[in-house]
Chain A
Amino acid sequence: MTTMLAYTLAWRPFIDPMNAHDWWFLLIFPVAMLVSIAWKAVRVDDVRRLPRAAGVMTIQVVLAMLGLGLAAYIGLVVVLPILAGLAR
């Protein structure tokens, strides 16, 4: 506990790695948002529509990642054992 506290207190932003090992998957939100901003910055015709376009794309990316994760889970945990059972 004290070691973990020392780690947290000693963390130097941009120099030491962040202790995000338990919640790294939440980083999908800033990553999706920043990629959307950069992408839509060069895609929208009217730059005034950029915030809305980037927001919509952020939601689409996050939902797509969730969908891929769900599909992978179903494939590996549900479908694959059934196929393995049929092959016996």
Chain B
Amino acid sequence: MSDVPPEAPIDAPKTVPPRPAAGGGSPFTPGPERFHPVAGVAAWVLPGLGHVLLGQPRRAAAVAVGVLGLFFGGLLVGGIDTVDSREDRLWFYVHALTGPVAFGADWLNQNRFKAWVLEPTGGGRPLEVFRSSHADEVRVDAPQNGQMPWPVLQRSPQWGDDDRFTGPRGAGKSIGKVNEVALLMCALAGMMNVVALLDAAFNRRRPEAELYGKGASTS
């Protein structure tokens, strides 16, 4: 029988005093690998939550800062249009790895900011397109002529002509390098969350309360 103590269960009390590893080795020596499916799922639900359940709140905080910082950083740079399951479907598959927060951002984009517009087709019947707004468009919740689905995008008479704008505006279309960086940031958030998720699901570390003692400084 191994002299290495089994890793503490997920719901272990966090007031265990610090103690060295069995055998006098480093307290950071990894224990036997165990599968924590609940921690893995929790890590997807909210980045860092898996490590919280494993008794590693400081590590969880760092995961949350990194993953959510990348995701919301991407939204800050590229706007809500960055997360778009219709126009950027392949990117969205990666963004979705960040968890429900990505689905929430996509829902907001689809249901609160994007709208229908008639796109000219060069002589033929205009196409009804569901897309993000342009800078000179406003989102109107009522049908313009009764033939279009709603909401629709209309060119704002105040925007662009008078340098003034009023009324509800759709989210601006994210384009160019800014859009590329924003897409990349949200995708990196998803990929880093997979790394954190796997680390939580197959964790070999001891709870932080056991390593540092309750309330110990991390500095």
Contact of B66 among A20, A39, A45 (CB under 8 A): A39
Q: Does B69 interact with chain A (Cβ within 8 Å)?
A: yes
Cβ contact within 8 Å between A31 and B73: yes
Closest A residue by C-beta to B58:
A47
Q: Does B72 interact with chain A (Cβ within 8 Å)?
A: yes
Cβ contact within 8 Å between B77 and A38: no
Q: Does B4 interact with chain A (Cβ within 8 Å)?
A: no
Number of A residues whose C-beta is below 8 Å from B? 34
Least CB distance, A11 to chain B, in whole angstroms? 9
Least CB distance, A69 to chain B, in whole angstroms? 14
Least CB distance, A28 to chain B, in whole angstroms? 9
Least CB distance, A77 to chain B, in whole angstroms? 20
Least CB distance, B97 to chain A, in whole angstroms? 12
17 contacting pairs across A/B (C-beta < 8 A): A3-B160, A6-B163, A14-B75, A16-B171, A16-B172, A17-B179, A18-B76, A18-B178, A24-B177, A34-B65, A34-B73, A35-B188, A37-B62, A37-B69, A42-B195, A46-B28, A48-B218
Ranked nearest first, the 9 interchain pairs of A and B with the lowest CB-CB distance are A38-B66, A41-B62, A45-B28, A37-B66, A42-B199, A38-B192, A17-B174, A17-B79, A24-B177
A-B contact sample (16 more), CB < 8 A, given A34-B69, A35-B66, A38-B193: A14-B72, A15-B80, A16-B172, A18-B77, A27-B181, A30-B73, A31-B181, A31-B185, A36-B66, A38-B66, A42-B59, A42-B196, A45-B28, A46-B28, A48-B219, A50-B58
Residues in A lying within 8 Å of B, measured CB to CB: 2-3, 5-7, 10, 13-21, 24, 27, 30-31, 34-42, 45-48, 50, 54
Residues in B lying within 8 Å of A, measured CB to CB: 26, 28, 30, 56, 58-59, 62-63, 65-67, 69-70, 72-73, 75-81, 113, 135, 160, 163-165, 169, 171-179, 181-182, 184-185, 188, 192-193, 195-196, 199, 205, 208, 211-212, 218-219
